[in-house]
Structure 1
Amino acid sequence: MELRELRYFVALAEELHFGRAAQRLEISQPPLSRAIARLERRLGVTLLERTSRKVTLTESGSVLLSEARTILGAVAAAERRTQQAAQQRPRLVLAVKSGTGGEFLAKLLDAYRLDPGAATVDLMLCEAHQPQELLMCGQADVALLHLPFDSTAGLDTETLYTEGQVAILPASHPLAGRSRVRVAEVSALAELPMARWPGPGGSYPEGPGVEVRNLTQLFQLIALGHTTVILPESAGTDLRRDLVAVPVPDAPPVTTVIGWPSQSRLRAVADLVRLATCL
């Protein structure tokens, strides 16, 4: 398989429309169609079902999409990291979900700046489902991840800390004055259905709660009385005045880890990880 063919296939598999995929690739449709047909002949499988109305992925196509994203991500990562190696002072991209990390993140960055050989750290604030994707596609070098919510497939990790969870509620809600609540009590709030986060593929699970992608959006919706959520304790610090964090002792603990691609050999990553595990 050629990288060009894989790029063409990924674009078509994500767009599921030859015209849009060709426009995204900045080519005409005939070369795209020929490349996909050639790829199918080489593999001996049908990757896409085509009708006059729509294009859909076959099971084989879904497998190749996942594998192709990994391959193209590894190539992009290799290119960027090779270029970084030639720089006098390397740059490191640290991916963190918006609104998370808090005090630990600030402490880590402050301590790392004091290291004489420290790389320049570019902080990439991302949405809920993105950290692992950013690492695998080479856009980030290292990330803070939260178990059991984030996937660590294809990554090496080191555990940083474990914490309990809290329910984030409108300050005016009857449960806001409690010293603690149970998961069942929060889940049973019909007037505040639990918010839904996107999964690794970006799709949302079924349910009545609102769809959210980051904490800024989520907290505004909670303050307006549209939803609630159970989050790690650290996400409940420095809340806006119209929200309250109530401990949920029976919620499973959340473990924060620092993760990086298994094939990474960047010294700057190793130095940052070593420092993070010592804090």
Structure 2
Amino acid sequence: MNGLESRQLRYFVAVAEELNFGRAAERLGMAQPPLSRAIRELERGLGVRLFERTTRQVRLTPAGEVLLRDARTALEAISAAARRASHAGRPAPQLRLALKADFDAGLLPRFLAAYRREAEAIPVELVLGGRGDQEAALRDGRADVAIVPELADTRGLDVEPLLTEPRLAALAASDPLAARSSLSLADFAGRMLPDGRLADPSAPGADGGGMPSSTAAHGPFAGSRQPVRDLAELFSLVELSDVVWFVPVSIARRHARPGIAYRTVRDLPPAEFSIAWPQDCRSPAVAAFIRAAAAVAAAAQPAITAQPLEIARSVDTAQSVF
């Protein structure tokens, strides 16, 4: 086979993800017979079977599983190339910075101020999204650089650590644990994090994480069946239930609420923030932003790591005025 066409890859990915030719055809906006013919032609051209078909189900073969992984990457790259070319052709270029609101250790204004002093600086467009959206934005060409609290997959990206930030436990002010000034992870045995995982340190994923995608039932209050969309909803969930959230200190400092208590947790790992960009990026503007952000973060790190207990106390003091 001389080469794969993007059309063939789109057809294949649709069938591989749906595992049903009818649903895949509907998704692609085409009739099923030509889709089936296209997949057979693709298999003939490659000389392998991509699907095992029976009257009851469609399954990927080992060859199909390999192609699915690479086909997604190829289609992603094609889409990203088109977006980046379109962006580069604008008469007034912008640096597209992806981040999750409030997950910048409180340093975004300083990042931007330092960047504006760079000779290569251009106007910045913020690309806001939820947890994990920043990686996708870099890969599909919607963003040029990103500030990320964690990266599940660094494939195709360059990543530079920026800083670490202590975390506090956010819990309902009426919670018995709020009467204590300092806690350990073992004190949260049996408690739930906002995304439904156990906060118990013996459970997988017990170190917390970022914004939740869903919640589980817990305690006398059943929580929410809907995904938590923002910080206000997250804090409301914590305030009304026995859910706890391990929150970066910078967020605790900016979000004092009368119904929320913040407490230090002796053995809680810190939050880590990094800056990421596409590996093949050669943009002077991106390089300038990376330099500026790294310099600001290095200067701020000592103050960020200092005395989270005092921050928790200051938040409690602020709450007392409500």
Report the TM range for the smaller structure's normalisation.
0.7 to 0.9
Decide whether aligned partners of structure 1 residues 169 and 220 sit closer, same or farther in structure 2, where only a CA change above 3 A counts. same
Cα distance in 1, alignment partners of residues 125 and 193 from structure 2: 33
Larger CA Rg, structure 1 vs 2: 2
Query: How far off is 1:126 after superposition?
Result: 1.8
Q: How far apart, in 1, do the equivalents of 2:87 and 2:108 lie? A: 24
> Which residue of 171, 183, 187 maps to 1:185?
187
Q: Secondary structure at the residue paired with 1:277? A: helix
**2:102 & 2:196 partners in 1: Cα distance?**
14
Offset of 1:250 from its aligned partner? 0.9
Aligned to 1:45: 48
Contact 2:167–2:268 (CA under 8 A) maintained in structure 1: yes
Further displaced range: 55-64 or 161-170: 55-64
Q: 1:1-279 counterparts in 2 under 5 A?
A: 1-113=4-116, 115=118, 117-147=120-150, 150-186=152-188, 188=189, 190=190, 192-196=191-195, 214-216=229-231, 217-225=233-241, 227-241=243-257, 242-279=259-296
CA distance in 2, matches of 1:28, 1:105: 49
1-structure distance, mates of 2:152, 2:107: 18
1:63 is displaced (CA, Å) by 3.0
The range that moved more, 11-20 or 154-163, is 11-20
Q: 1: distance between equivalents of 2:85 and 2:196? A: 35
Q: Please tell me whether the aligned partners of residues 84 and 142 of structure 2 are also in contact (alpha carbons under 8 angstroms).
A: no
SS at match of 1:34: helix
Q: Distance in 2 between matches of 1:35 and 1:255?
A: 46
Query: Where in structure 1 do 4 or more consecutive aligned residues deviate above 6 Å?
Result: 207-211
Structure 2: unaligned runs, 5 residues or longer:
198-204, 206-212, 297-322
Deviation at 1:174, TM superposition (A): 1.4
- TM-score (normalizing by structure 2): 0.72
Q: What do the CA deviations read for 1:90-120 (whole angstroms, capped 9, x no partner)?
A: 1232221244125112322343345564333
Contact 1:194 1:228 in 2 (8 A): yes
Secondary structure (helix, strand or coil) at the match of 1:276 reads: helix
> Which structure shows the bigger proportion of residues in strand conformation?
1
- Letter paired with 1:47: L
Is the contact made by 1:164 and 1:254 (CA closer than 8 Å) also made in structure 2?
A: yes
Distance 1:65 1:240 in 2: 47
- The question of whether the paired residues in 2 share the 8 Å contact of 1:194 and 1:227 is answered with yes
Structure 1 unpaired stretches of 5+: none
Structure 1 SS opposite 2:254: coil
**What is the root-mean-square deviation of aligned Cα atoms in Å?**
3.0
Report Cα offsets for 1:142-183 as digits up to 9, x if no partner: 211224x53323210122111222222112211123322111
Q: Give CA-to-partner distance per residue, 1:195-231, whole Å, 9 cap, x none.
A: 33799xxxx89x8777856543433321221522223
Identity of aligned residues (%): 43
> How far, CA to CA, are the matches of 1:272 and 1:182 in structure 2?
38
Deviations 1:63-104 (A, max 9, x none): 322222221222222222223333332123222124412511
Question: Are 1:128 and 1:214, in contact at CA under 8 Å, matched by a contact in 2?
Answer: no
Quote how far apart the aligned CAs of 1:40 are: 2.5
Q: Tell me the amino acid that sits aligned with residue 155 of structure 1.
A: L
